[in-house]
Amino acid sequence: METRVTKMLGIQYPIIQGGMAWVAEHHLAAAVSAAGGLGLIGGANAPGEVVREEIRKAKELTDKPFGVNVMLMSPYADDVAKVVVEEGIQVVTTGAGNPEKYMDQWKAAGIKVIPVVASVALAKRMEKYGADAVVAEGCESGGHIGEATTMTLVPQVKDAVSIPVIAAGGIGDGRGIAASFMLGAEAVQIGTRFVVAEESIVHENYKQRIIKAKDIDSAVTGRSHGHPIRGLRNKMTREYLKLEQEGKSFEELEYLTLGSLRRAVQEGDVQEGTVMAGQIAGMIHKEQTCKEIIEEMIAEASALLKW
């Protein structure tokens, strides 16, 4: 199962962890990397110094490489962009925007840059600007999403660029990995299944909400103002969608979601908080260690792909 991605990143398995806000902290990143994948620390909306601390704590837990996801809508993105260079991070993924203005500084530091894209246009642009690979993320993903599905986006991005493509969105087992490889991917990014990992620090209520989720429990809020977010249906999404239908402005809706992801992740408020998760939540039934998750998925994929 060696691919251009495993070779480039120096990892055993072609699996990278999603850079999930509030979830992708040092325990999870170190556990995924120690199990042979690429763990990621999610910069999310955190200040640079908080991300620096997370990086240092992850380094204490593992000698294996791990990366940082820079969330480009963050007011601290410039600071986090500098911190990854100063801390000698070798792999950066980006989300929710176009990372062009950071590319030169990252490439000069020898960082492998892997933008997450939701369109062919941005994938091509990223290749031109020197990206080492792209994550093609379909709208089955949790959190901030684009329009295209994984099934349609991955082969179109694959045909449009020469750099390796990593598939994301709706992948949670070996079948999803095998299907992604059939579409031309050379690795996958997995989020939701790692949220319920034993090493994941999210509140038990959050894990149980994912474990109990059914196929149709997913909802997308924020479509009307151009920032669609996928999560699991609850009191908050019902209220939000009702107000959205009534035509409320972005400002009026924003108060509903302020701090709502943190409330769900840390305090376990899964009714009024935001439970970001992908559509694959309905297929995730138990908590396992990162090592168990990765080895189980790889065994399934290997059998299907005759690796």
Interaction with ligand TUI in 25-84: which residues (CB under 6 A)?
44, 71, 73
Q: Which of 116, 165, 213, 301 binds ligand TUI (CB under 6 A)?
A: 116
Our CB check for ligand TUI shows the closer of 14 and 278 to be 278
- Residue 146 found at the interface with ligand TUI (CB under 6 A): yes
Closest distance of CB 26 from ligand TUI, Å: 18
* Closest-CA residue to 144 (of 88, 77, 73): 73
Our CB check for ligand TUI shows the closer of 121 and 299 to be 121
- Residue 145 found at the interface with ligand TUI (CB under 6 A): yes
x-or-dash string of contact with ligand TUI, 163-202, rule CB under 6 A? ----------------------------------------
Is the distance from CB of 3 to CB of 14 less than 8 angstroms? yes
Question: Where does this chain touch ligand TUI (CB under 6 A) — which range of 139-147, 151-159, 212-220, 298-306?
Answer: 139-147
Label residues 183-208 b or e (16+ Cβ within 10 Å = b): bbbbbbbbbbbbbbbebbebbebbbe
- Residue 144 found at the interface with ligand TUI (CB under 6 A): yes
- Residue 95 found at the interface with ligand TUI (CB under 6 A): yes
Question: Where does this chain touch ligand TUI (CB under 6 A) — which range of 91-99, 172-180, 204-212, 244-252?
Answer: 91-99
* Closest-CA residue to 93 (of 187, 176, 182): 187
Query: Which position has the token pair 């079948």?
Result: 175
Label residues 50-81 b or e (16+ Cβ within 10 Å = b): bbbebbeebeebbebebbbbbbbebebbebbb
Question: Where does this chain touch ligand TUI (CB under 6 A) — which range of 5-13, 76-84, 89-97, 199-207?
Answer: 89-97
Task: Beginning with the edge strand found earlier in the chain, give each strand of the sheet holding 229-232 in spatial order.
Answer: 143-144, 229-232, 218-221
In angstroms, how far apart are the furthest CA atoms of the chain? 53
Q: Which of 5, 15, 16, 21 binds ligand TUI (CB under 6 A)?
A: 21
Is the distance from CB of 118 to CB of 137 less than 8 angstroms? yes
- Residue 98 found at the interface with ligand TUI (CB under 6 A): yes
- Residue 225 found at the interface with ligand TUI (CB under 6 A): no
- Taking the C-alpha atoms of residue 304 and residue 201, their distance in angstroms, rounded to an integer, is 32
Query: Which position has the token pair 């993105």?
Result: 77
- The contact set with ligand TUI (CB under 6 A) reads 21, 44, 71, 73, 95-98, 116-118, 122, 137, 143-146, 227, 229
